[in-house]
Each structure stands twice: as structure tokens, then as C-alpha cells.
Amino acid sequence: MNMRKTTIAVLFILATMVALQVACRKADSISPDDNPDNEWLSGGSQTAFDQGSGAFSHAFSSLPANLLRVHEIGDGQFNATFVSAPAPLNPGLGPIFNNVSCGSCHVSDGRGKVPGLGESAANMLFRLSIPGEGEHGNPVPVPGYGDQLQTRALLNTQREGDVLITYTDNTYKFADGTSYSLRTPTYTFTALYTTMPGNVMLSPRVAAPVFGLGLLEAISDADILAGTDPDDKDGDGISGKANMVWDVLKNKKVLGRFGWKANQPNLLQQVGAAYNGDIGITNMLFPKESSEGQTQFDSDPNSTSYELTDSLLYSVQFYVRTLAVPVRRNATAANVVQGKSLFTSAGCIKCHKADVRTGVDVSLPQVSNQLIHPYTDLLLHDLGAGLADNRPDFLASGTEWRTAPLWGIGLTQKVNGHTNFLHDGRARNLMEAIMWHGGEALSAKNKVNNMSKTERDALIAFVESL
């Protein structure tokens, strides 16, 4: 994009933001010179100006027509409902699965909702493993179940089982005496089709939003690794660690960055694994049904064909790669500005890093060299025993989680109709999510605990503006 076009695009963007946000009041802190590196533009040039229920579903703004078409094809595939084979359209569902389309869990490209009491999870899944490390350092699959519990199956086929979720509420007090409560989930297997070993490890994983992922993928390995400090050599209490995970195409260990424990190295593998594990759709990366070796398996074990064509797999990868990030809201409001300063002084910013510039990718200029504000360092951090899943995943220990990106989080209610946060959706609002932070984040959490109500409200207002 040459400078003149940049200026025009910038003026348009700023004019629109002004019109959208500030009525007739001039926003002094936004200047035309701030250009796409402006903090309102969480996704840099790939920021979408939408605060409605479709905020997570916009394509990058500057895709040429041929690539926009690929995005559209991928969009159609992302929302395609799979049915059992044979069928003229979308065959191949199952035989065991968690849901029937990507969009059924990643509703409106957003965050999954936790089931109500007694309901079966529709937007979350449960990872399983038994102790030990597999051939590539991976979690050891559970005999008879694999590394994921498929809670649904085709008619006349038995599902693997289900999980009952119950909660225990505990009340606590902030330093100023105001109380708050946190609910701790308990997971109980039900309807298991065969014996589950007693040493099974279970990790609940809510469906994560799928926007902005192409930008995260474009951050260089070096930039992510530069933030690691696993032995806390600088003594700041933060010890971010990289997860090194198995890349099935490259056949080696590489840096992981996607997933609640950063166990997936790139979007193609994330998408392929999800197709296979969550919907039962085999593909070039994962050509074997997850049910192979189990009683539910209904295909030919000697078959070398798979259900999803390569081009459609790539189209879905491209779709999630090119979903834009929603613009910030109210970034200059006084309480939001105060909240941002508290976010920094409390130390949240040490892991939820605000600014990072993506690397250059000549094959997709749209993701290149963007100053983005995802509020994550994409590293693993120990968050304490309270929040642990106690299930290691490659180099991630049972108490470690990848810093979750906070961009777009304030739109969760609007887009997905709920405010369930953290890996298992236990937090019913942002403040609960904050108060669950322990381990490396304990000192930051304690600072929040000691804040006045005004300060706490400002902090939340800031996070909601992201």
C-alpha cells in the first residue's frame, strides 16, 4: 500500500471511528498522524468496524477479489453442516463426533458457551490422556477413547460418553470488603461406552474465538521466543515458557501458539485436527478416523482415501486466517484510560502484552508488518493450582496455560450472548476471570484485590473496551 493510499485509508478510518464513537466531539488523542498503528485498531489494517453481533465475522478489508472468493468458500465450509455418509452434500459425519460443523461450536466465529446444569456440552470438548509422553512428547491417548471424548455419535452407534458438570460456589472479599464469588467446576463421566482408566486426565476446553488468528500466526517465532524467561532470570515473577509441539507435516518439533495450552503450531494443523477430532471428518493431515480401533469404527481400515478434499481444507484455513479483529470501543473514555494504566501497574500487561508487530509474509501481504494489539505473549504461564487442569500437553505442565488473547473480549456478550471466560468457562464475568489468576499472576491478582471499587470498575471497563 503506497503512502497516498495509506493516508486516504487512514483518514477514512479515523473519520469513521470519529463518527462511530464520538458524536460531534473531537477526539483529541486520535490524530491523523497515528495511522494504522493507532491503539484503536486492534488488528492494524485488518480491523473491522463492527460492534454488532457479526463483529467477529468480517474478512480482511484489503483482500483482492480472488482471495476474497477463497475466504467465502472457506466461510461456507466453516458453516457447512455435515451429515452421515452416503449423502450428496457434506457426507462423512462421525461415526463419533462433538458437533456437526465448525460454526456449531465456534458460533458466529466466537467463544463457546458453557452448558447449563444437566445439559450436554455443545460448544466445548474434553481432552483426555493418561500419564506419560507419547512418541513425539505428546499426551498419551486413553485406550478406547483417544485424546478427546466424543460425546455424540450417529444413530445406531454408541457415543464415547458424556461429562456432567457441577459447580461449587465460594465467596470471597476484596480488600475493600465487597464480596465476589468464584465457582469451581467438577467433572464426572457419564454414559461411558467402555471402561475409563482410573488415572485418566481430563481437560475441558471451551471453543475459542477464531478471528485474528492469521495475524497471530504471522508473528515471528523469534518475537515470541524473545519474551520467554522460564527461569525468571529477570526476577519479575513472570516466567513465560514456549511450548514445543509436533508438526505433522514437517515431522518435527516446532513452536506451538494456538489452543488453550499452545499445543498447535499453525492454523492448518489446528483446522485439520479439529475436523478429525470434533466432526469425524478425515483429511490429508489426519486421514484416520479417531474411532479406528474402537467399536464405533465403521470404515475400511485399509482405505487410503479421506473425506475432506485438500482444497476445502485449505479454504477453511484461509477463512480463519483472514478474519479481521473488531475495533476497540470507547478507547479514550476517562475510565478506560484509567483502567489501562491500572492494567499496566497491576502487572497484567507482562503476559497480556499489548503491542506486537507481525513479520513479513510475502505470500499474504495483508498479514504482514501490522502493529496489532492482541494482549497476549502467546507463551505458557503457571496460573496456579486452582485453575490447573493437571494434564500436561507437550511442554505445558498441568498448571500452565497459554496467555489468552484479550482482543474482542468485550464483544463476547453481544456476539455470543454470554460472558463465560477461561478455558472451561468457569468465570461468569471478567472480574471472576481475573480473580482466578494465581501462580505467576498471583501478585497481579492481589493488586486487583487491593483496588478500590472505582479502580476495579475502571480496570474492567478497559478490558471490555478491547
CB of 12 to other proteins, least distance (A): 6
Q: Please answer whether residues 208 and 215 qualify as being in contact, where contact means their C-beta atoms are separated by less than 8 angstroms.
A: no
Provide the CB-side half-sphere exposure for 458 (13 A, CA).
21
Residues that bind other proteins (CB under 8 A): 8-9, 11-13, 15-16, 18-20, 22-26, 48-54, 57-59, 61-62, 68, 71-73, 75-76, 79-81, 83-90, 93, 99-101, 103-104, 108, 120, 122, 152-156, 159, 324, 417
CB of 124 to other proteins, least distance (A): 15
Comparing CB distances to other proteins, the nearer of 18 and 244 is 18
Comparing CB distances to other proteins, the nearer of 26 and 233 is 26
Q: Please answer whether residues 423 and 365 qualify as being in contact, where contact means their C-beta atoms are separated by less than 8 angstroms.
A: no
The DSSP string of 255-305 is: EE-BSTTS-B-SHHHHHHHHIIIII----SSS-S-TTTTSTT--S-TT---
| Residues 18, 320: Cα–Cα separation, whole Å | 29
Comparing CB distances to other proteins, the nearer of 2 and 156 is 156
Comparing CB distances to other proteins, the nearer of 80 and 404 is 80
Residues forming beta bridges with residue 254, ordered by sequence position: 245
Comparing CB distances to other proteins, the nearer of 82 and 286 is 82
CB of 187 to other proteins, least distance (A): 18
CB of 120 to other proteins, least distance (A): 6
CB of 75 to other proteins, least distance (A): 5
Comparing CB distances to other proteins, the nearer of 89 and 222 is 89
Q: How many CB atoms lie within 10 A of CB 287?
A: 15
CB of 203 to other proteins, least distance (A): 23
CB of 137 to other proteins, least distance (A): 34
CB of 343 to other proteins, least distance (A): 23
Comparing CB distances to other proteins, the nearer of 83 and 284 is 83
Comparing CB distances to other proteins, the nearer of 159 and 373 is 159
C-alpha cell at 323: 478474519
Comparing CB distances to other proteins, the nearer of 54 and 185 is 54
Count of residues in the chain: 466
Secondary structure of residue 85 in the 3-state scheme: coil
| Residues 332, 38: Cα–Cα separation, whole Å | 12
* Exposure string over 116-130, b if 16+ CB within 10 A, otherwise e: eeeebbbbbbbbbbb
The DSSP string of 330-384 is: STTSHHHHHHHHHHHHHTGGGTS---EE----TT-GGGTT-EE--S----EEE--
C-alpha cell at 438: 494465581
Query: Which ranges of 22-108 does DSSP label H, i.e. alpha helix?
Result: 65-78, 102-105
Q: What are phi and psi of 151, to 5 degrees?
A: -90, 0
CB of 184 to other proteins, least distance (A): 26
